């Protein structure tokens, strides 16, 4: 049976570098005995003196950390900003790309709603966890080995300051938002008469869906002008934008999904009939692009709205080397 | 955070480093861990054993202290002594301490918070 002091010293020494162990062993024991003696002289009973001395010395693991000069943190203040920037960048850019690619592949493979959502959630959890783990692991090793610390250290300069947009709504974006629907409408009308011998898109839709689409696109352009005159993003804008996006995207996706989008007479697509797989693949890829594009737009406008609501100025994309 | 916790946090910040100066000054006459702990305690330095003992080894590794085992008595003890380098550093640290003290005193008089 070992006594309390032995147990304490052994526990502390386990986590101390080997070459220092003998010396610390002797010194620590002497210090403990000195403290116990002082307590006994002051009138305490020996067993009680040992107990209170060890309690005062505290957790032997912490003592060992102090002796070994080990830091009791995973990533210190020097590396933390770089760790945070890298991780947020990865989670904000690489993770969505991986998830979107996964969703598109799943759509092509088997467009079952449950499988698509399940796959996306699984991808977010597993890929996100892996990213967080490996980035943290590498930084913890850098912290301990001390290598690359000076190279990684970020020297902040004035160039790292981001620029902010003078107005919340940049003119160029409004112009693009008006020109794009106009071009689409022109394309839709022109493809009926020119471009190819047979129209590319299903002429059967001129009875309702193509006129509907033109109206929806015009509304999109009107929305941009309204937004510009309103002069700011907010919740109303987010909702109106989402409605505006959905009234265009949902019927389009439905048309594509049910095979009513492309003209069945159109040579290239009709010729694909023999290879039905490719036709299906094209259809699904188109659906994937439409869904992703609409989702990105709705999220982008909503994020801007929330930022503006909190009074945060809009950062000009691509400026500012630091912070995401 | 309560006021007490705020105060003790600031006090800790302020006291950090004073133990090093005090130890280097006291150990100009050789001493061992527990004796130093007692001396510092009596002098009004709040220091815990689990901080002081590892600190002594760190100062030794930095060359500010040197050590020797004394086996003359029944209980062998490791005696530390301040080196010339340690003494020089302690001197510089003390000068800085008095400079800060008088600077703070000057601040109080110029801002009129003290008569």
* For residues A79-93, average pLDDT: 89
What residues of B are in contact with residue A31 (Cβ under 8 Å)?
32-34, 37, 49, 53
Cα of B79 to nearest chain A Cα, Å:
10
pLDDT tens track for A32-45: 999 999 999 999 89
Looking at chain A, the whole-number percentage of residues with pLDDT higher than 70 is: 87
Facing B76 at nearest CB: one of A30, A35, A62: A30
Residue A269's pLDDT band (cuts 50, 70, 90) = low
Closest chain B CA to residue A65: B54
Looking at chain A, the whole-number percentage of residues with pLDDT higher than 90 is: 27
For the ranges A19-23, A274-278, B7-11, B78-82, the lowest mean pLDDT is seen at A274-278
Q: Which of A110-119, A144-153, A228-237, B63-72 shows the highest mean pLDDT?
A: B63-72
Q: What is the pLDDT of residue B103?
A: 93
How far apart (Å, rounded) are the C-alpha atoms in residues A319 and A317? 6
Kindly list the residues of chain A whose beta carbon comes within 8 Å of any beta carbon in chain B: 20, 23-24, 26-28, 30-31, 33-35, 38, 56-58, 62-63, 66-67, 69
Facing B49 at nearest CB: one of A23, A24, A57: A57
* Chain-chain contact of B33 with A67 (C-beta, under 8 angstroms): no
Residue A166's pLDDT band (cuts 50, 70, 90) = low
More confident residue, A300 or A135: A135
Q: What is the pLDDT of residue A271?
A: 58
A198 forms beta bridges with none
Q: What ipTM score was computed for the predicted complex, to two decimals?
A: 0.84
pLDDT tens track for A46-56: 999 999 999 99
More confident residue, A187 or A314: A187
How far apart (Å, rounded) are the C-alpha atoms in residues A22 and A20? 6
* For residues A11-32, average pLDDT: 90
What residues of A are in contact with residue B33 (Cβ under 8 Å)?
27, 30-31, 34
For the ranges A117-126, A187-196, A226-235, the lowest mean pLDDT is seen at A187-196
Q: Is the predicted pLDDT of residue A274 greater than 60, yes or no?
A: no
Cα of B109 to nearest chain A Cα, Å:
37
* For residues A245-268, average pLDDT: 83
> Of A233, A225, A229, A228, which is closest to residue A314 (Cα–Cα)?
A233
What residues of B are in contact with residue A57 (Cβ under 8 Å)?
49-50
* Chain-chain contact of A58 with B75 (C-beta, under 8 angstroms): no
DSSP state letter for A316 = P
Q: What is the pLDDT of residue A1?
A: 44
* For residues A14-25, average pLDDT: 89
Q: Is the predicted pLDDT of residue A235 greater than 90, yes or no?
A: no
What residues of A are in contact with residue B50 (Cβ under 8 Å)?
57-58, 62-63, 66
Q: Is the predicted pLDDT of residue A276 greater than 70, yes or no?
A: no
Whether residue B75 lies within 8 A of chain A, CB to CB, comes out as yes
* Chain-chain contact of B54 with A63 (C-beta, under 8 angstroms): yes
What residues of A are in contact with residue B51 (Cβ under 8 Å)?
66
Q: Are B20 and B93 in contact (CB under 8 A)?
A: yes
Q: Is the predicted pLDDT of residue A322 greater than 70, yes or no?
A: no
Residue B40: how many CB atoms within 10 A of its CB? 18
* For residues A269-296, average pLDDT: 74
Cα of A58 to nearest chain B Cα, Å:
7
Give me the DSSP letters along B79-93. Answer: EEEE-HHHHHHHHHH
What residues of B are in contact with residue A42 (Cβ under 8 Å)?
none
Residue A2's pLDDT band (cuts 50, 70, 90) = low
For the ranges A16-30, A60-74, A244-258, A299-313, the lowest mean pLDDT is seen at A299-313
Closest chain A CA to residue B32: A31
Residue A165's pLDDT band (cuts 50, 70, 90) = low
Residue A9: how many CB atoms within 10 A of its CB? 20
Structure token pair of residue A264:
């069945």
For the ranges A60-69, A170-179, B19-28, the lowest mean pLDDT is seen at A170-179
More confident residue, A244 or A269: A244
Whether residue B62 lies within 8 A of chain A, CB to CB, comes out as no
pLDDT tens track for B98-114: 999 999 998 877 765 54
Residue B69: how many CB atoms within 10 A of its CB? 13
More confident residue, A148 or A259: A259
> Of B92, B42, B38, which is closest to residue B64 (Cα–Cα)?
B92
What residues of B are in contact with residue A58 (Cβ under 8 Å)?
48, 50
Facing A33 at nearest CB: one of B37, B58, B75: B75
* For residues B22-49, average pLDDT: 92
> Of A90, A97, A28, which is closest to residue A57 (Cα–Cα)?
A28
More confident residue, A231 or A170: A231
Whether residue B51 lies within 8 A of chain A, CB to CB, comes out as yes
* Chain-chain contact of A30 with B75 (C-beta, under 8 angstroms): yes
Facing B54 at nearest CB: one of A33, A56, A67: A67
Q: What is the pLDDT of residue A317?
A: 64
Q: How many A×B Cβ pairs under 8 Å?
A: 54
pLDDT tens track for A136-154: 999 988 888 876 666 666 6
∠ Cα B79 B85 B88 (to 5°): 115
Q: What is the pLDDT of residue A323?
A: 43
């Amino acid at each position: 049976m070992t006594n309390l002091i032995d147990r304490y010293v052994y526990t502390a020494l386990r986590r101390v570098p080997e070459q220092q162990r003998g010396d610390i062993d002797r010194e620590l024991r002497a210090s403990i005995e000195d403290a116990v003696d002082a307590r006994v002289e002051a009138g305490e009973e020996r067993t009680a003196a040992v107990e209170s001395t060890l309690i005062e010395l505290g957790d032997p693991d912490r003592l060992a950390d102090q002796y070994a000069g080990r830091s009791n943190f995973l990533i210190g203040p020097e590396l933390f900003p770089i760790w945070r920037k890298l991780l947020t960048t990865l989670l904000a850019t690489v993770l969505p790309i991986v998830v979107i690619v996964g969703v598109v592949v799943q759509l092509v493979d088997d467009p079952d709603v449950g499988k698509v959502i399940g796959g996306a959630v699984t991808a977010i959890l597993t890929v996100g966890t892996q990213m967080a783990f490996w980035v943290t692991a590498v930084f913890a090793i850098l912290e301990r080995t001390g290598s690359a610390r000076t190279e990684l250290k970020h020297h902040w300069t004035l160039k790292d300051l981001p620029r902010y947009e003078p107005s919340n709504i940049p003119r160029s974006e409004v112009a693009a938002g008006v020109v794009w629907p106009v071009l689409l409408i022109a394309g839709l009308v022109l493809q009926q008469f020119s471009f190819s011998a047979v129209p590319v898109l299903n002429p059967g839709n001129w009875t309702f869906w193509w006129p509907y689409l033109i109206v929806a696109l015009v509304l999109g352009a009107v929305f941009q002008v309204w937004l510009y005159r309103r002069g700011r993003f907010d919740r109303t804008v987010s909702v109106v934008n989402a409605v505006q996006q959905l009234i265009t995207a949902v019927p389009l996706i439905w048309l594509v999904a049910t095979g009513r989008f492309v003209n069945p007479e159109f040579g290239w697509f009709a010729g694909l009939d023999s290879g039905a797989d490719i036709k299906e693949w094209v259809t699904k890829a188109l659906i994937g692009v439409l869904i992703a594009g609409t989702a990105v737009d709705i999220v982008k406008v909503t994020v801007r709205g929330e930022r503006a609501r909190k009074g945060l100025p809009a950062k000009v994309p691509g400026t500012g080397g630091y912070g995401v | 955070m309560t006021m007490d916790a705020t105060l003790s946090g600031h006090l800790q910040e302020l006291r950090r480093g004073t133990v090093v100066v005090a130890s280097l000054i006291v150990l100009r006459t050789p001493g061992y861990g527990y004796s130093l702990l007692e001396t510092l305690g009596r002098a009004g330095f709040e220091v815990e054993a689990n901080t002081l003992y590892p600190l002594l080894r760190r100062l030794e590794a930095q060359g500010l202290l040197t050590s020797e085992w004394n086996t003359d008595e029944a209980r062998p003890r490791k005696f530390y002594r301040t080196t010339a380098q340690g003494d020089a550093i302690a001197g510089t640290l003390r000068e800085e301490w008095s400079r800060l003290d008088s600077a703070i005193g000057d601040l109080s008089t110029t801002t009129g918070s003290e008569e």
